[in-house]
């Protein structure tokens, strides 16, 4: 009876305990061939990558975006994809971020999210995806009485994170105060040599009367800083959501 009980307990332990990695024996690290230092075992790399992915806060709609499934139909879209691939392969040996211009529906957010995801997965970068409108609302709400989130709690990660994607810059017209806050964040990232990837619908030249430029939208100080810290990527093409992928309630 005692022998049977012992065997049953052993079976329960084996069912509840994850299989031990045969390489690192569960320690999570391995010695290098020369025995001088420890490196993470491959069994832990997937866990670490998943943690970085969650921390990047890529919106659910864009979590499946990759450079492989970015299907450019215009020359500028194909060129942007090629540049994005070189950017990922060269990282961290890059000296500027990216400012991605283009009208709605040409894949700016897809491309930015794909770059961030691949830097997180393939290069081990720590990243963060931030929607400009959401950021604008959070900053304003931080000054409301009783709000649990302070301005510093919002801005701290934006200043410090290794790779920041700021999506749809200028989608909301910022107040002068928010422009100053935005400039402060971008200037700090510039001085710290952090990688910043920005998408926007606003260009430097209005293509028709009444259309605002990016400088008018976010201010000359912010636009000037972006000239120094980002390479310009212009994408043209049809509105993919309108002409190719219209929503359907049923498959």
List the one residue out of 213, 235, 118, 205 whose CA is nearest residue 165.
Answer: 118
Higher per-residue confidence, 105 vs 113: 113
List the one residue out of 166, 51, 42, 61 whose CA is nearest residue 116.
Answer: 166
pLDDT at 242: 65
Number of structural domains in the chain = 1
- Please check the confidence at residue 6 and state whether its pLDDT lies above 60: no
pLDDT at 5: 47
Query: d(Cα 169, Cα 148) in Å, to the nearest integer?
Result: 25
Q: Mean pLDDT throughout 97-103?
A: 96
Residue 129: pLDDT band (50, 70, 90) is very high
Q: Mean pLDDT throughout 100-113?
A: 95
Any domain includes 18: no
Q: What is the CATH number of the domain that holds 145?
A: 3.40.50.300
pLDDT at 18: 46
- Please check the confidence at residue 3 and state whether its pLDDT lies above 60: no
Any domain includes 107: yes
pLDDT at 9: 43
pTM (global) more than 0.75: yes
Any domain includes 81: no
Q: How distant is the alpha carbon of residue 181 from its chain centre?
A: 20
194-243 confidence digits (pLDDT tens): 999 999 999 998 777 878 999 999 999 999 999 999 999 999 988 776 66
Find the largest Cα–Cα distance for the chain.
90
Any domain includes 190: yes
The phi and psi torsions of 84 (rounded to 5 degrees) equal -60, -40
Instruction: Give the three-state DSSP class for 40.
Output: strand
Rg (CA), the chain: 23
Q: Where are the beta strands (DSSP E) in the chain?
A: 29-31, 38-40, 97-101, 127-131, 163-167, 195-200, 230-234
Calculate what percentage of the chain has a pLDDT beyond 90.
59
Query: d(Cα 100, Cα 105) in Å, to the nearest integer?
Result: 13
The angle subtended at Cα 162 by Cα 158 and Cα 166, nearest 5°, is: 45
Any domain includes 76: no
Any domain includes 66: no
Across the chain, mean pLDDT equals 85
The angle subtended at Cα 240 by Cα 116 and Cα 236, nearest 5°, is: 75
9-68 confidence digits (pLDDT tens): 443 333 333 457 777 776 666 777 877 777 666 665 556 678 888 999 999 999 999 999
**In DSSP terms, which residues pair with 29 in a beta bridge?**
40
Query: d(Cα 48, Cα 43) in Å, to the nearest integer?
Result: 10
pLDDT at 15: 36
The set of residues, in sequence order, having a beta carbon less than 8 Å from that of 24 and lying 6+ positions away, is 30, 41, 43
Question: What residue numbers bound the domain in which 190 lies?
Answer: 90-237
pLDDT at 161: 97
Any domain includes 25: no
The set of residues, in sequence order, having a beta carbon less than 8 Å from that of 117 and lying 6+ positions away, is 53, 56, 58, 63, 65, 66
Any domain includes 152: yes
pLDDT at 10: 45
Calculate what percentage of the chain has a pLDDT beyond 70.
82
């Amino acid at each position: 009876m005692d022998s049977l009980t012992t065997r049953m307990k052993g079976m329960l332990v084996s069912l509840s305990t994850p299989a031990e990695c045969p390489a690192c024996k569960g320690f999570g690290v391995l010695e290098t061939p020369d025995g001088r230092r420890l490196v993470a075992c491959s069994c832990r790399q997937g866990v670490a990558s998943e943690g970085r992915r969650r921390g990047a806060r890529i919106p659910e709609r864009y979590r499946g975006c990759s450079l492989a499934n970015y299907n450019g139909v215009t020359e500028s879209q194909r060129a942007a994809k090629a540049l994005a691939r070189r950017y990922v392969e060269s990282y961290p040996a890059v000296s500027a971020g990216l400012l991605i211009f283009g009208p709605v529906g040409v894949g700016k957010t897809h491309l930015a999210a794909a770059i961030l995801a691949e830097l997180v997965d393939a290069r081990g970068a720590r990243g963060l995806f931030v929607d400009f409108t959401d950021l604008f609302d959070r900053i304003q709400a931080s000054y409301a009485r009783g709000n649990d989130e302070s301005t510093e709690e919002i801005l701290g990660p934006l200043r410090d994170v290794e790779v920041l994607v700021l999506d749809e810059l200028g989608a909301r017209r910022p107040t002068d105060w928010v422009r100053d806050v935005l400039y402060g964040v971008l200037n700090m990232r510039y001085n710290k040599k952090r990688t910043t990837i920005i998408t926007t619908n606003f260009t430097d030249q209005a293509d028709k009367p009444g259309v605002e430029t990016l400088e008018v939208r976010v201010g000359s100080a912010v636009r000037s800083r972006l000239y120094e810290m980002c390479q310009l990527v212009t994408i043209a093409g049809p509105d993919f959501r309108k002409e190719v992928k219209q929503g359907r309630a049923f498959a």
